[in-house]
Structure 1
Amino acid sequence: MKLPFLFRPRLLDDLRGYDRTRFTRDLGAGVTVGIVALPLAMAFAIASGLKPEAGLWTAIIAGLLISLFGGSSVQIGGPAGAFIVIVYGILERYGLANLMIATACAGVLLFVMGMLRLGRLVRYVPVSIVIGFTNGIAVLIAASQVKDWLGLAIPKMPADFFTQLKTIAAHIDSFNPFAFVLGATCVLGLFVWPRLWHARSPVRAAMDIPGIRQASEVGARLPGPVVALVTLTLAAWYFALPVETISSRFGGIPSGLPAFVLPEFSWETVKLLVTPTLTIALLGAVESLLCARVADQLSTAPRHDPNQELMAQGIANFVVPFFGGMPATGTIARTVTNIRAGGTSPVAGIVHAGTLALVVLLAAPLALLVPLSVLAGILLFVAWNMGEWREFAHLRRYSTHYRVLMLGTFVLTVVFDLTVAVQVGLVAACVLFIQKMGSLFSVERVVNDSGLLRYKLYGSLFFGATAKIDPVVQAVETGPERPDVVLDALHLVHLDTSGLDALRQLHKAVLLRQGTLHIENLQQQPREVIERGGLVRELEDKHQDS
C-alpha cells in the first residue's frame, strides 16, 4: 500500500551492504550506550515524580521504536533531562492518567508534523531562545535535585521554582550529611573520571606499561555514571549508611514485562490537556532535531531526515504511555556516547534497547540499593553539562536583540514554565525581527531642478515599514499644486499588501492635489504585487486622463 506521505526509516538504507564488521561495531556501541542509559533512565523518572521503571521501560520501548523508524543513523532515543520539569509540573497539576493521555496526544501531533514535512521549521527557532530555555531547564533540574542531594525529609516537592527554594529552606534542619557526601562525591567523580583517562593524564601515563595497559584501556571505556552508581552504591551498602534508596522510597523495581494499560480517554479531557500536549510535542521536536543536528556534525553517517525523525518520535510517544512510560525524545549524551563508541547504524540503538531490557529483567533487584543522593549527583552533573553557561559571560559580544531573547526566555522558563517562555520568546523574536527588517527599508529624496518630487526606495516595503512612506505623503500634501511624484523602485526588493496599501494612499494624496504618480524600474516581485492589486491599472488610467 502506497502511503500519501513519505515514510522511509533510515534503517532500511543502512542495512544495504551491512556486514559483520559494522555489526560488531554496532553491538559494542549498543551495549555501551545501554549501560550508560541505565542510571540516567532511573534518575530522569525519579526526578520527574515517577517510579524508576517508568524511565527504564521508556528507554527500552521508545529507544527501540526511534531506532526502528527514525531518520538518523546514530541517534539514541529515550527519556531526557529536559522533560523532568515538564513532566513533574504536569503530574502535579493534572495527574498521572492525564500525563499519559497528553504524551499519547503529543505523539500523534509529532507524527502529523513529520507527515506534513514540518521538520525543517524547527530550525527557524532562534538559537538565543534555544539556549535560554535550555539553561533555564538546567537550573530547574538542579533545583529539583537539592532535596535528595541534601537528604532532606520533604514528602513532596512543589513544581514552582521559588516554592521549591522556600520548601528546601523550611526543611534544612533535616539535612543528612551522609547523603550530601555521597552526592558530592558522585559529582566530583563524574568531573574527574574522564580526565583520569585523558591521553595526557599522569594516571594514564603511569599505567602505560605492558602488564597494566589493557586494564587502563578498559577503565577509559567505562562510563563515569556507571562507575559512580556501582561504587557509591556498594559503599553505602557496605557501611550501612542511613540514606534513602530506591527500595526505601519505591519498594522495588518489577523484573517482569510492563503491563499494557489503556488510560480512560475522553474528548473533554483532551481539550483540557491542549497546553501540556503542545509543550511535550514542542520540546520533543526541538530536542530530537537539535540532537540529530549535533549527531550530523560528529558522525560520518548521512545527514538525518528531520521529518522521518519526527514521525518516529511520534510513534514512540504514542506507544510508551500504554506501558506506563514517560515522554521520550532524542538524547544528546547517549547519542554522543553511541558515536564515540563506534555506532554506525540504528542497529546500535536496537542493541541498546535490548541491553537495557536484559538488565531490567535479570538484575532489577540489584537496583534497590541505589542511594537517591547518587542519582541526584548524576542529574546535577547532567544539568551542568546541559547548560550553555559561557553564553552568559559572552553576552556583551552579541546584539541587544540576542540578549533580550536569551535572558527573557531564561527568566521566563525559571519563573513560569517552558511553554510560556517559548511562546513569549517566539513572539518577541518576531517583533524584534519586524523592527529590524523595518529599519532596513528607507526612502531617499533625490534633489533635482525639474520640480519633480523624486524618491528612491530601498529594501522591503512591508507592514513593518509602511510608516516610512508618510514623509512622502506629507511632502505631497504641503507641496505645490499638481505635483509630479516619481518613485524609483530599482532597489525595492519586496512588497507586501500593506506596502501596496501605503503606495495606494500616496497615490490618493497625489490625486487630491491633481498630480501624477510614476513608479519606475520595478523588480519582478513588487511588479507582480502591484499588478495583482490593480495599482498599475489605476496609475495608467490616471496618466491617460491627464
Structure 2
Amino acid sequence: MFEFKPKLFKSLKNYSKETFMSDLMAGVIVGIVALPLAIAFGIASGVSPEKGIITAIIAGFIISVFGGSNVQIGGPTGAFIVIIYGIIQDYGTSGLIAATLMAGFMLIAMGLFKLGTIIKFIPYPIIVGFTSGIAVTIFTTQIGDAFGLNFGGEAVPGDFISKLILYFKCFGTIDIWNTLITAGSLFLIVISPRFSKKIPGSLIAIILMTVIAYLLKEYAGATTISTIGDRYTINAALPSLEIPPLGWESIKNLFPVAGVIAILGAIESLLSATVADGVTGDRHDSNTELVAQGIANVVTPLFGGIPATGAIARTMTNINNGGKTPIAGIIHAIILLLILLFLMPLAQYIPMACLAGVLMVVAYNMSEWRTFKALMKNPKSDVAVLLTTFLLTVIFDLVIAIQLGLLLACLLFMKRVAETTIVSVSRKKVELTKDLGPAFKKEEIDIPQGVEVYEIDGPYFFGIANRFEELMITLKERPKVRIFRMRKVPFIDSTGIQNLTTLWRTSKREHITVVLSGVVPSVHETLQKAGFNQYIGEENICPDIYVAIERSKQILEEKEAATK
C-alpha cells in the first residue's frame, strides 16, 4: 500500500531556530540563483519571461511542501526547453497547458503505483544521449540572439537541420554589439566563481551586461541590441486561473508528448534527489517525490506555468549553502514571488544576447561531454543506444528519441538475456552435482537408449523459445522420450509456455513422450495456471533427474510392450 509521506511534515517535528536560519540563508541564495535561469528557460521555451518565474514559484513551493526529499528544489529546467518549444509550435499555449496537466496526472499515477524505483532502471546511455542532445539543441537555438542575426522577418524553424541552414544563410548579418554582449556574459559567468561563491555568475552577468547595454543604447547609438522588453510585454502580477478545454482529440494527440514530459520529469527529479542523497547522506522517498512532481505539474499550468521538475544545479546550491529541510525550498519560492511583484519590470532591459550567453553555459554544463566520451568506449550495444538517442534528439525530437531509444535498449537487453540462456542436449550421460556442504561431488548417470535430455540454463522466455526447434533440426535421429531438465529455469513467460506446448504437440505427432525434470515451484505454478500439466500429465512432471530417468525407462517399457 502506497504511503504518502512528505518530508516537510517529518522535518517540522524537531525544527529549531538554528535550522531555520540555515534554511533562510540557503533559500534566499537559491531564489537569487533561480531568477536568471527561470527567465532564460521561459524565453527559450517560447513563453514570456514571467511564465518561467511563475513556474519556479508555484512548482518550487509545491515540490518542497509535498516532496519526498529534504533538499530538492523544483522549477523549470533546460531539459524541457526543446519539447515545450515544439509543443507551442504545433499546438499553441493551450496545447502546452493540456500536455503538462496530463503529464502531471501521469506522474501522480507513477507514484501511486510505486514506479519510483523502476524509473531508475532506465539505461544510463539513454539518459546521457537525450541530455547531450538537448544540450546541443539548446545551444543552437541561442545562436541567433548570441550574434544578433537578422532573419529578415523569417521565423526560426524548430528542426535542427532547417535551423542551421537559416543560420548559415543569415550569417552575414552578424551584429557586433550583440556579439560583444554575449562574449562579455560568457566571460563574467566563467570568471565569477573565482571572486564569489555565493552570488551566481549568471546573475552577475545579467546585472552588469544590462547596465552596459542600456548605456550603449543611450550614449553609443547601439540601437541594434535587442532586449526582453523589445519582444515581450512583462506582466508583473499574480496570474489568474485558466482551465484549458480538454477534448478527446486533444488528449489523443497530446498523449505521446505528455508521456515524454512525465518520463523526463520523473527521471530528472529522481536523479536530482539521488545526487542530493549522495551528498547529504539522507534518503528520499521516490514515490512521494513523483506524486509531488505530479501535483506541481497539475497546478502550475493552470496559472500559465510550464513543465517543472527537480533541478540538480539549484538543489546542489541549496545543499552547499546550508539548506536542511524543505523550508529552504519554500523560502526560495517566496523570494521569487517578491521579485516578480516588485522587480520584474526591470527585466525588460535585459539584453537577449546576455540570456543567450547564460543558456549557452547551461547547455555546456548539460552536455556531459566527458561522460559521453567515456561511454563511447563501452560495449557496442551501449554505444548504439547512446548515439541513436543523441542523434534522434538533435535531428528529430525528444519524443521519438526516448521512444526509439527505450525500444532499442529493451531489444538489446533481451538479446543479452537470451544469450545468457544455454540449451544443451545429452544422449548418453547426464552430469549431476550433489551438494555435500563445503564439498561438491560430481557424478554421471547413464541415459537409456531412445532418450534425449535437454538442459535449460536460464529464463525460458520468447528470446530463446525457438532455440529448441533449431537444436532439434540438427539432430537426425528421433528419440522415444524427451526430458526437459528445468532446474535452472527461474521463470517462464507466455511465449515460452506456447513454445513448450508446440514442442509437446510436435513430439506427440512423432510419438515422442515429453517429460519435465526439476521444475521450480514458481514455474510449476505458472504451467499449472496455463493448463500445460493437463496436456503432459502430472506423472510426467518429475521433481528431479533421477525420477525423470526412471519415468523415461517406464515409458520405454510401455512403448516396447505396446509394439508386441
SS class of match (1:443): strand
- The structural deviation recorded for 1:331 is 0.9
The farther-off stretch of 147-156 and 125-134 is 147-156
Q: 1:527 to 1:166 in 2, by over 3 A?
A: same
CA contact (8 A) 2:33 2:199 kept: no
Q: CA RMSD in A?
A: 2.2
Q: 1:153 to 1:503 in 2, by over 3 A?
A: same
SS class of match (2:240): coil
The residue that corresponds to 2:117 in the other structure is: 120
Q: 1:266 aligns with which of 233, 237, 247?
A: 247
SS class of match (1:342): coil
Residue 231 of structure 2 aligns with an amino acid whose one-letter code is R
Q: 1:43 to 1:540 in 2, by over 3 A?
A: closer
The residue that corresponds to 1:208 in the other structure is: none
- The structural deviation recorded for 1:298 is 1.9
Q: 2:296 aligns with which of 316, 325, 331?
A: 316
Rounded to whole Å, the distance in 1 between the matches of 2:98 and 2:507 is: 61
Q: Deviations over 1:60-97 (max 9, x none)?
A: 11111111111111111111111111111111111112
- The structural deviation recorded for 1:540 is 4.8
Q: Deviations over 1:469-511 (max 9, x none)?
A: 11453366x315x523333333333322322333333333443
Rounded to whole Å, the distance in 2 between the matches of 1:540 and 1:324 is: 65
CA contact (8 A) 1:442 1:468 kept: no
Rounded to whole Å, the distance in 1 between the matches of 2:249 and 2:405 is: 30
Following superposition of structure 1 onto structure 2, how do residues 380-399 of structure 1 map, counting pairs within 5 Å?
380-399=360-379
Q: 1:289 aligns with which of 270, 279, 282?
A: 270
The residue that corresponds to 1:416 in the other structure is: 396
Rounded to whole Å, the distance in 2 between the matches of 1:466 and 1:19 is: 62
Q: 1:495 aligns with which of 484, 492, 495?
A: 492
The residue that corresponds to 1:215 in the other structure is: none
Q: Which structure's CA Rg is the greater one?
A: 2
Rounded to whole Å, the distance in 2 between the matches of 1:129 and 1:73 is: 28
- The structural deviation recorded for 1:162 is 1.1
The residue that corresponds to 1:275 in the other structure is: 256
State whether structure 2 residue 243 is matched by structure 1 residue 245: no
The residue that corresponds to 1:171 in the other structure is: 170
Q: 1:445 to 1:265 in 2, by over 3 A?
A: closer
SS class of match (2:237): coil
Q: 1:507 to 1:325 in 2, by over 3 A?
A: closer
State whether structure 2 residue 69 is matched by structure 1 residue 88: no
- The structural deviation recorded for 1:381 is 0.3
Rounded to whole Å, the distance in 2 between the matches of 1:265 and 1:516 is: 60
Q: 2:213 aligns with which of 236, 247, 261?
A: 236
Rounded to whole Å, the distance in 1 between the matches of 2:25 and 2:409 is: 44
SS class of match (2:296): helix
Following superposition of structure 1 onto structure 2, how do residues 172-251 of structure 1 map, counting pairs within 5 Å?
172-194=171-193, 196-197=194-195, 219-240=196-217, 241-242=222-223, 243-251=225-233
SS class of match (1:438): helix
Rounded to whole Å, the distance in 2 between the matches of 1:531 and 1:86 is: 48
The residue that corresponds to 2:440 in the other structure is: none
CA contact (8 A) 1:85 1:140 kept: yes
Q: 1:173 to 1:424 in 2, by over 3 A?
A: same
Rounded to whole Å, the distance in 1 between the matches of 2:351 and 2:51 is: 18
Q: 2:61 aligns with which of 34, 59, 64?
A: 64
- The structural deviation recorded for 1:437 is 1.0
SS class of match (2:40): helix
Rounded to whole Å, the distance in 2 between the matches of 1:447 and 1:263 is: 70
- The structural deviation recorded for 1:274 is 1.9
Q: What number of residue pairs does the alignment pair up?
A: 517
CA contact (8 A) 2:179 2:353 kept: yes
Rounded to whole Å, the distance in 1 between the matches of 2:457 and 2:243 is: 61
The residue that corresponds to 2:351 in the other structure is: 371
The residue that corresponds to 2:477 in the other structure is: 479
Q: Deviations over 1:287-331 (max 9, x none)?
A: 21221112111223x311122112211221122222221111111
- The structural deviation recorded for 1:528 is 2.7
The farther-off stretch of 438-447 and 338-347 is 438-447
Rounded to whole Å, the distance in 2 between the matches of 1:157 and 1:456 is: 62
Rounded to whole Å, the distance in 2 between the matches of 1:222 and 1:157 is: 34
CA contact (8 A) 1:413 1:420 kept: yes
Q: 1:496 to 1:113 in 2, by over 3 A?
A: closer
Q: Deviations over 1:202-224 (max 9, x none)?
A: xxxxxxxxxxxxxxxxx332211
SS class of match (2:368): coil
SS class of match (1:394): helix
State whether structure 2 residue 416 is matched by structure 1 residue 436: yes
- The structural deviation recorded for 1:396 is 4.3
Residue 228 of structure 2 aligns with an amino acid whose one-letter code is I
Q: 1:10 to 1:500 in 2, by over 3 A?
A: same
Q: 1:268 to 1:509 in 2, by over 3 A?
A: closer
Residue 207 of structure 2 aligns with an amino acid whose one-letter code is V
SS class of match (1:124): coil
Rounded to whole Å, the distance in 2 between the matches of 1:494 and 1:108 is: 34
- Structure 1 gaps of 5+ residues are 198-218
Rounded to whole Å, the distance in 1 between the matches of 2:507 and 2:2 is: 53
The residue that corresponds to 2:387 in the other structure is: 407
Q: 1:410 to 1:519 in 2, by over 3 A?
A: same
Q: 1:26 to 1:394 in 2, by over 3 A?
A: same
Q: 1:511 to 1:233 in 2, by over 3 A?
A: same
- Structure 2 gaps of 5+ residues are 429-445, 541-550, 559-564
Q: 1:111 to 1:456 in 2, by over 3 A?
A: closer
Rounded to whole Å, the distance in 2 between the matches of 1:446 and 1:280 is: 53
Higher relative contact order (CA 8 A, sep 6+): 1
Q: Deviations over 1:431-477 (max 9, x none)?
A: 1111111111112233527423233221112111012211453366x
CA contact (8 A) 1:517 1:539 kept: no
Rounded to whole Å, the distance in 2 between the matches of 1:486 and 1:365 is: 81
- The structural deviation recorded for 1:261 is 3.0
CA contact (8 A) 2:465 2:495 kept: yes
The farther-off stretch of 268-277 and 429-438 is 268-277
State whether structure 2 residue 288 is matched by structure 1 residue 303: no
Q: So what's the TM-score if we normalise by structure 2?
A: 0.87
The farther-off stretch of 339-348 and 219-228 is 219-228
CA contact (8 A) 1:160 1:415 kept: yes
Q: 2:37 aligns with which of 14, 35, 40?
A: 40
CA contact (8 A) 1:483 1:515 kept: yes
Q: 1:417 to 1:169 in 2, by over 3 A?
A: same
CA contact (8 A) 1:497 1:529 kept: no
CA contact (8 A) 2:125 2:375 kept: no
Rounded to whole Å, the distance in 2 between the matches of 1:475 and 1:273 is: 51
Rounded to whole Å, the distance in 2 between the matches of 1:178 and 1:470 is: 72
The residue that corresponds to 2:456 in the other structure is: 457
Following superposition of structure 1 onto structure 2, how do residues 348-367 of structure 1 map, counting pairs within 5 Å?
348-367=328-347
The residue that corresponds to 1:210 in the other structure is: none
